Structure 1
Amino acid sequence: MKVLCLWHATRDEIDGIKTAMPAGTEVVAPEPTDYLSRYETTYKDLERHARNADAFIGWTVPEGILEISEKLKILSWLHVGVDDLRQIGAFTLLKQRGAKLTNIAGANAAAIAEQGMMLMLALAKNAIVKHHLTIDGRSPFPLWGDEMRSAILDGRTLGVIGVGNIGSRIAKYAQAFSMNVLGVRRSKDKPAEGVDSMHGPDELHSVLARSDFVIVAAPNTKETNGFFGRAELAAMKPSAFLINIGRAATIQEKPLYEALTSGHLRGFATDVWWRYEFGRTFPIGWGSRLEIHRLPNVICSAREAHNADGIRERSIEWGTENLVQFANKEPLKREVSLELGY
């Protein structure tokens, strides 16, 4: 079996994968080049090995590589979300080859859940505004002014939309703040620790109406793309806060902007951003074309939730576990359904 690392892997990383795999496995990586990021490679970097590789493992797939990988049997994707792969046609190619797709679901759950709690607290406590006031040597005025008043988590209701690896952790963390947690997931009969009551998608609006804070931790699939729009925002309390740590595309940008600037939504925090692709949107790029990030009631980070101690190493370790299971003909614990998209 030949495994191709899709990034400029170090000797230790290559040896670690080889040691874990069955005897006789060949593990290769692109030759060292004058790269900008070692996690990004080009068609030229990978072509020689891709043509006869049985397995890929990595964070990115250069254009054209999947098309020439006629022997490919498994792609071990070192992300949790796979919507990027679907958008570049990888799902279709993998289906045609009869190849498997796995991810690292759960590897960064704690880091992202902690980021979600940080964003919720920072938003509720007006942390950024108060930080800059202090740096400038100013005190909030007038005393007890509404614009500087913090929200309270204790005793409030949190709605978690998408109770998976990340959402379930957030629910447990929120319990420590004495919050009442409502969960929304497709399988509402499946309980989760920390969730006081679980609800199905058909009950979303009633959950939103009861929630003081809402955290969206849902993946971006055909069913969830843009599911959170004008009607969902209208169902929320004007005093509520919305936090997104799932995928930006699940929330519609224009209705969100209108809610934030009209006073219908108290605040928004996010680590994920919309992408604008040529042929679908113009201009292309990523971020917020309406400059939501500049609004005074918004706190944000730029896709940094996963960037925490030990996550890179765990991602490679779990991605390697996927390949070991495949090589040993064991059930793939982190297999992604090419039909469902998760």
Structure 2
Amino acid sequence: MQERFALRNTGIRSFEVRTLDELKARIGEAHVLSVSGFWRNEFVEQAQQLAFIQSISAGTDQYSREILGAAGIRVASAQGVNERAVAEHAIGLVLAVARKLPMAFANQAAHKWRGLISEIAQREDELGGKTLVIVGMGRIGSRLAQLAKAFDMRVIGVKRDPARGGGAADLTVPQSQLLEVLPQADFVALTCPLNPSTQDLIDAKAFAAMKPTAVLVNVARGKVVNEPALIEAMRSGAIAAAALDCVWDEPLPPASPLWDLPNVFITPHSAGETQKYEDNVIDLLLENLQRLGRGETQLKNGFV
């Protein structure tokens, strides 16, 4: 971010920190902060000059609206800057599982040429005609629905307010009907924000509602899924596989059972990480700084 920001020649003095301790030590110098996972709400006490936080991430669960609002600190998310990237990553995970790409890579590393598979159920699969349930039909979920339709998939969207439209989805239902549509799913993709209504949304009841051939794809937040229930579902074969870009504790602890489960495919919360990401966030940051400079009250993606 610092390197890309310097190339803009804005005349705004800036510095970067690379550790939590560095941020804690220097936050008192900052009028504007661009941050994501390093943010801690207790930093407000030391951030006497801080006026604005431009989050680097679309997720906002780490920011206390109450604490920041009371301190008069404005906050905006990076919602939308990675919608294409995350949706593409999600469809990539769907394809990776359907086409058994992790297995192919493992065989390549072992110099093993796998022969043709006589057992039909163990072969790679096609996406056409399969049903994808997308939980969270915001920008990312809507983009994912478009991509899925290009593969001739049937898409069911789960949305807080279905009356506002479901984009490319064939059917859109409220979150209260999630358990009713899960039995239809060949793939379940999570693209929703983390909030009190979505925490542990995919729990033991949800796994029990899914068919044993179903695949869970999580590009949302780790805590949307009840992790002990996920591990049990993977071990028991309640569902066929899970492709996870996010987990409860990140980095994933070395002792986590998820590392060694053969039906779990993990990417390191990299769905939104692209070569354009920093520049997309900086565009948003500069737009919001201009609005603040003009005395405007409404920020782009502002939520505090």
Alignment TM-score, normalising by the size of structure 2:
0.89
Alignment of 1:131-210 (within 5 A): 131-140=105-114, 143-145=117-119, 148-210=122-184
Pair 1:331-2:292 in alignment:
no
8 Å Cα contact 2:158-2:172 kept in structure 1:
yes
Partner in structure 2 of residue 261 of structure 1: 235
Partner in structure 2 of residue 129 of structure 1: 103
Q: In structure 2, which of residues 266, 281, 285 is the aligned counterpart of residue 319 of structure 1?
A: 285
Partner in structure 2 of residue 95 of structure 1: 69
Q: For residue 197 of structure 1, what is the amino acid of its counterpart?
A: L
8 Å Cα contact 1:14-1:28 kept in structure 2:
no
8 Å Cα contact 1:274-1:288 kept in structure 2:
no
Partner in structure 1 of residue 276 of structure 2: 310
Q: For residue 315 of structure 1, what is the amino acid of its counterpart?
A: V
Q: For residue 213 of structure 1, what is the amino acid of its counterpart?
A: F
* In structure 2, C-alpha distance between the alignment counterparts of 1:15 and 1:309, rounded to whole Å: 15
Where do 5+ consecutive residues of structure 1 fail to align?
1-6, 20-26, 277-284
Partner in structure 2 of residue 44 of structure 1: 25
Q: How many residues are treated as equivalent by the alignment?
A: 302
Q: In structure 1, which of residues 274, 280, 297 is the aligned counterpart of residue 263 of structure 2?
A: 297
- Alpha-carbon spacing, 1:96–1:212, altered in 2? closer, same or farther (3 Å): same
Q: For residue 128 of structure 1, what is the amino acid of its counterpart?
A: P
Q: CA RMSD in A?
A: 2.6
Partner in structure 2 of residue 23 of structure 1: none
Alignment of 1:270-281 (within 5 A): 270-275=244-249
- Alpha-carbon spacing, 1:43–1:262, altered in 2? closer, same or farther (3 Å): closer
* In structure 2, C-alpha distance between the alignment counterparts of 1:168 and 1:174, rounded to whole Å: 10
Q: In structure 2, which of residues 38, 41, 61 is the aligned counterpart of residue 83 of structure 1?
A: 61
**C-alpha deviation, 1:289, in angstroms:** 5.4
Q: For residue 75 of structure 1, what is the amino acid of its counterpart?
A: I
8 Å Cα contact 1:133-1:139 kept in structure 2:
yes
* In structure 2, C-alpha distance between the alignment counterparts of 1:188 and 1:131, rounded to whole Å: 40
**C-alpha deviation, 1:62, in angstroms:** 6.7
Where do 5+ consecutive residues of structure 2 fail to align?
none
Q: For residue 51 of structure 2, what is the amino acid of its counterpart?
A: K
Partner in structure 1 of residue 48 of structure 2: 70
8 Å Cα contact 1:273-1:288 kept in structure 2:
no
Identity level (%) = 25
Deviant stretches of 4+, over 6 Å: none
8 Å Cα contact 1:76-1:323 kept in structure 2:
no
- Alpha-carbon spacing, 1:147–1:95, altered in 2? closer, same or farther (3 Å): same
**C-alpha deviation, 1:29, in angstroms:** 2.2
Which digits, 9 at most, give the CA deviation of each residue in 1:290-317, with x for residues without a partner?
Answer: 4123211111111111221211111121
Q: For residue 23 of structure 2, what is the amino acid of its counterpart?
A: T
Q: For residue 33 of structure 2, what is the amino acid of its counterpart?
A: F
SS in 2 for 1:113: helix
8 Å Cα contact 1:74-1:101 kept in structure 2:
yes
- Alpha-carbon spacing, 1:191–1:247, altered in 2? closer, same or farther (3 Å): same
